[in-house]
Amino acid sequence: MAKFLNSIICFFLILSVALAINQVNAEKECTEILHPNPGSIFGCVLRDCNKECKEKHNGTGYCTSDAGVGKYVCTCAYDCSLP
């Protein structure tokens, strides 16, 4: 009886791990640079970047360095697996 119970527990544990892996793979993260040519001398303002990204894509905005621009730019990361 104990072996049978251990087998059932192992089966459900493996099943739950497999389902969790599928959920992680279902999300696809996309990024978009908002305002690639910032007019401000400071470049990216994190508060404004995060707000605009949330409004546009329901994502999270980050200030990242862009060597081509020479300033920080607003990079929006969001889940693009949804239609």
**Domain ranges (residues) in the chain:** 26-83
Secondary structure (DSSP) of 7-50: HHHHHHHHHHHHHHHHHHHH--EEEEEE-SS--STT---HHHHH
The string of pLDDT tens digits covering residues 58-75 is 999 999 887 665 778 899
SS (H, E, C) 45-78: CHHHHHHHHHHHHCCEEEEEEECCCCEEEEEEEE
For residues 57 and 47, give the distance between their C-alpha atoms in angstroms, rounded to a whole number. Answer: 16
> What dotted CATH number matches 26-83?
3.30.30.10
- Asked if 82 and 27 touch (Cβ cutoff 8 Å), the reply is no
pTM of the predicted protein model: 0.59
**Residue range 17-67, pLDDT digits in tens:** 555 655 555 578 999 988 766 556 667 889 999 999 999 999 999 998 876
For residue 12, pLDDT over 60 is answered with no
Residue 77: pLDDT band with limits 50, 70, 90: very high
